[in-house]
Structure 1
Amino acid sequence: MMKQTLCEKLGELAKSDIYPFHMPGHKRQLQDQQFGDTLKIDITEISSFDDLHEPEGILKEEQEFAAGLYGADHTYYIVNGSTCGILTAVSAVCRWGDTIVMARNCHKSVYHATYLQNLQIEYIEPQRCKEGYPVGPVLTKEIEHALQRAEQKQAAKAVILTSPTYEGVLSDIPAIAEIVHAHHAVLIVDEAHGAHLGFSTEFPQSAVRQGADLIVQSLHKTLPAMTQTALLHICGDRVDLQRVQYYLDIYETSSPSYVMMASMSKCLHLIGEEKDSLFSAFDEKLQDFYEIREQLKHITILDAVWAWNTYHAYMDPSKINICVAGCMRDGSIYTGKRLSAELLEKYHIETEMTAEQYVIAMTSVMDTQEGLDRLKAALLEIDSKLSVVESGKSTITRSGYKGTELPPRRISDEEKNTDSDCKTEKNVKKNAGQSAGQNSMLNVEEEEAEHRADSMQTAYTIREAMDHKQKAVGWRDAIGRISAEFVIVYPPGAPLLVPGEMITQELNEKIRHYQKVGLNLQGMQDKTLQRICIVTE
């Protein structure tokens, strides 16, 4: 245990009579109802408070505490969000012009990282089911195929994927790590939505303990910490620590907020001391909420049972995915956007993300029983006013997963601190029997994901395309040309179109559809989507 935490040390400073002839300019004097006493601990790198970029004292101790808590060999505080961690991880492993294998549903920060190092990309497509539902995990065989494709030209230095996804679907990290390491590559896991994993037998394990080499987590997303706070974990000896530290110096601000770092310290020490009681109470509240599944007649909760029977994948129960596929209201299709708007306007409930046919309600150990009860009551009332879509009005149907079984997801006490606690894909599918082939949710052949990834028409690297001479044209004239900009659905932040890829009629139609249903599209210069920038000769 640390003799004194950063929070405690800052608290002592706030009560002292030391006068600040140093930054920041508010001089710890600007107190009001909005900020309270927060600014009293907002300091710069002064005596005995260490330097995040050259930690030797209390910040070094705090980072070592974080590493011990998660089971990492090294852990770094990040106040620029997981984006900084992603940029650092990719840059530390991949040099200019190297090849990286990456899941197509990666966050835009991963694409930006490939731009910075002008990387060649071998894509992996995650599993997908019927249109309108969350995407699934990345399969080990797809990673194997991508690594083999890369080796025909230039062996990949790294594999990067997102697990859990925004919706909470997890990939089989132990099995993936084994494949990646067999090809002498480094496994980077964007675990931005999984900082809470591995602390309880009621939740899935973290990639930190499953063989990944670099793991990026957003503390603020799922634990009680301030926005922008994140962690970068390193496990094993496949990563050059000096390169990690070098790129952290480049990408992370040279003026890290002590308020944010205090928030991280308080969060991690709270978890370290009270994780058992916090997660036990959290699990009880979630189990109570999920009882709503049997009461809903039209709305579907896409939970662990759904994920297992659709993808043979595990799912983080803290992500409540509320699906309205196949629902109608007042004679028209009831969409995710209508649901989120009604929850906010009528019930004063703000949800995390709105997709075409579902809404994500994010929860954490800090959620109250009253809050979850309000959401449950609101959904039951909304559900009572919905009806089943008339035949022909929607191609999306309800999942129909009720009555199926989910193999135990619980982590035993013995497994909780081991390197690999979850079943591998091979064992999971063996135990599942033949149900995968009988699942009506899946509408793709097993080989199709590989074909999609292999056939993506990429003419340039992202950097080559973005730095190339370009012009804006109408979408009709852009068909068959090479894009010079992104089109990104945000959230979750995964691109539909990437610079260097050919613009197709199919893609144009998909983008128009997303625009029509009101999804937020980013990355384009023309926000109206009347024109798109293309590469010119």
Structure 2
Amino acid sequence: MSLISKLKGLHNDNSISMHVPGHKNNTIGELSDVIKADYDLTEIPGLDDLHDPVEILSELNTMLAQKAPGYHAQAMVNGTTNGIICSIHAIKERVSHFYIAGDAHKSVYHGVSLINSDYTVIRPEELYELDLDDSCVILTSPSYTGELIKDIEKHVEYIRKNNGLSIIDAAHGAHLSITNNFEASLLKSGADVVIESYHKMLPALTMASVLFTGDSALHQRIMHYINQFETSSPSYLVLASIEYAQQFYNEYDDKEFFQKRGQLIHHLKAAGIDTKEQDDPAKLILNSSEGPYNLEQSLRDSGVYSEMVTDEGVLWCLPLWHEGDRYPFTALLERITKLTPAAFNEGTVMNTDILEGEICVENIVPYPPGVPLVLKGNVITADVIKRIKHYQVNHVKIEGIQYNIYYYMNEAEL
């Protein structure tokens, strides 16, 4: 089966999205009205240069910066991953050490690895025990599951007062502050750099991201690295979707969202599905008596696709419902009502026993969420091997396993 056939099949099967991107199979917003194949152009006269914007793309960045007065904005087409890596490279010119606070995405570790930088993994509350002079703290908020770091403005202010710099990976928070009923945007934290993935919850194409920088000189240094790392053939469809997503954000009314959210939670609980609300009202974690992995498979069997499943539960990214949206809400409620437990289908378990006690040579990362289970250079313990097998039984994709097995099976000859 080809990729095109697979995509057509999911579309024709009327699959229901509870995952990213935020346009939810083109049912949220009116993205298809402004994103057309005819608009897939290149940097012809009048369309500016993304890496040195002075015309229409400069106007786009100025419009985006209005979301956060005091920040410079740069639209990006290689996702938040590229923004994180470029920011780390630029800030390395000013600091000698990085602190990674909390459960960071693999791109953060890739960023510090690419510059061969020293780093320390800490809890956010440990900041106050550290000498932050000549350092940068990288925080992740909200988390993949919609949890926010408490008192982050206080953390950022402490970092600044102690001569440190701060980056916030806010990939999952581009929609925050969309109305007063949502938690505050991380742009209100005052961090030196904040990167948001517009595509995750807003109606934008995948890879749509915006990087916000407070200091002009730092912004220029980050642009230097964006010019090196980002594609030199940016998609104008992605860029146009960023503009549309910002317009959607500016005009959004949440009345329909909270009404449907309440109905959905009621139906889930009536169907015996435990529903855990997160700091971000657009994220829910679901569970059932059959366990999260069975629940996710049951939902998928009914044509409802979730964002992620872990031992904690099944993660749903709710649509930003609005008046006139085309999201199949009634069909979703019907499928929840008719849900039945899935047949157990054990995943393939690779022989990872060879790795026990060895040094990890490539990050081992369950994906999603992309937070490393074992970092390169750390020991792969018996408990880790047990968790890996548990994940594999439950069909969780884990990056880095094959590389580590191949390395040790070939006596470290790589």
Range into which the TM-score falls when normalised by the shorter chain: 0.7 to 0.9
Aligned-pair distance for 1:354? 1.6
Q: 1:375 to 1:179 in 2, by over 3 A?
A: farther
Aligned twin of 1:345: 301
Q: What residue is the counterpart of 1:122 in the other structure?
A: 120
Change (3 A) 1:259 1:533: farther
Asked if structure 1 preserves the Cα contact closer than 8 Å seen for 2:365 and 2:400, the reply is yes
SS of aligned partner of 2:194: strand
Counterpart contact for 2:95–2:134, Cα < 8 Å: no
Checking the alignment, whether the CA contact within 8 Å between 1:482 and 1:534 is kept in structure 2 is no
CA distance in 1, matches of 2:168, 2:127: 13
Q: Deviations over 1:217-264 (max 9, x none)?
A: 111110011111100011356x62221111111111111111111111
TM-score, normalisation: structure 2? 0.81
**Structure 2 match to 1:159:** 137
Alignment of 1:420-435 (within 5 A): none
User: Aligned equivalents of 1:46 and 1:510: distance in 2?
Assistant: 52
CA distance in 2, matches of 1:207, 1:343: 32
Dislocated runs of 4+, deviation >6 Å: 527-530, 532-536
Partner residue in 2 for 1:316: 280
Shift of 1:343: 1.1
Return the structure number with greater relative CO, CA threshold 8 A, min gap 6: 2
Which of 87, 90, 93 matches 1:89? Answer: 87
Q: TM-score, normalised by structure 1?
A: 0.63
Change in 2 beyond 3 A, CA 1:124/1:321: same
The 3-state SS of whatever aligns with 2:75 is: strand
Structure 2 residue 370 is matched with structure 1 residue 490: no
Alignment correspondent of 2:21:
none
SS across alignment from 1:283: helix
Name the structure 2 match of 1:290. 265
Tell me if structure 1 keeps the 8 A contact 2:198–2:208. yes
- List runs of 5+ in structure 2 lacking aligned partners: 1-31, 343-350
Distance 1:292 1:184, change over 3 A: farther
Q: Give the alignment partner of residue 275 of structure 2, picking from 284, 293, 301.
A: 301
- Aligned positions, number: 372
Unaligned runs of 5+ in 1: 1-33, 126-138, 305-314, 328-333, 387-473
Could you tell me whether the CA contact under 8 Å between 1:43 and 1:258 is conserved in 2?
A: yes
Residue 168 of structure 2 aligns to a residue whose secondary structure is: strand
Question: Residues 477-511 of structure 1, C-alpha deviation per residue, up to 9 Å, x if partnerless?
Answer: 54443221111010010010111112222222222
Which residue matches 2:291?
335
SS at match of 1:497: coil
Measure the CA separation in 1 of the matches of 2:185 and 2:111.
Answer: 23
Letter paired with 2:51: H
Task: State which of 373, 381, 391 in structure 2 corresponds to 1:504.
Answer: 381
Report how far residue 528 of structure 1 moved. 7.8
Deviation larger for 170-179 or 88-97: 88-97
Give the match for residue 175 of structure 2.
196
Cα pair 1:202 1:283 within 8 Å, conserved: no
Alignment counterpart, residue 371 of structure 1, candidates 300, 306, 328: 328
Distance 1:343-1:190 versus aligned 2 partners, 3 A rule? same
What is the DSSP-based 3-state SS (H/G/I as helix, E as strand, rest coil) of the residue aligned with 2:154? helix
| Match in the other structure for 1:481 | 358
When Rg is computed on C-alpha atoms for both structures, the one with the higher figure is: 1
Shift of the alpha carbon at 1:322?
Answer: 0.8
Distance of aligned partners of 1:526 and 1:196 in 2 relative to their CA distance in 1, 3 Å threshold: same
Q: 2:51: which partner in 1? A: 53
8 A Cα contact 1:484 1:533, kept in partner: no
1:174 aligns with 2:153: yes
Distance 2:202 2:165 in 1: 27
Partner of 1:187: 166
Correspondence list, 1:10-29, <5 A:
none
Which AA in structure 2 matches 1:349?
A: V
User: 2:300 is matched by which residue type in structure 1?
Assistant: L
Q: 1 CA distance for matches of 2:352 and 2:300? A: 35
Given that 1:481 and 1:534 are in contact with CA atoms closer than 8 Å, whether structure 2 keeps it comes out as no
- The one-letter amino acid paired with 2:284 is I
Q: Give the match for residue 27 of structure 2.
A: none
User: Among 216, 234, 244, which residue is 2:213 paired with?
Assistant: 234
Q: Match of 1:189, SS?
A: strand
d(CA) in 2 for partners of 1:57 and 1:511? Answer: 51
Separation in 2, partners of 1:85, 1:102? 16
The one-letter code sitting in structure 2 at the alignment partner of 1:286 is R
SS of residue paired to 2:396 = coil
- TM-superposed deviation, 1:179: 2.2
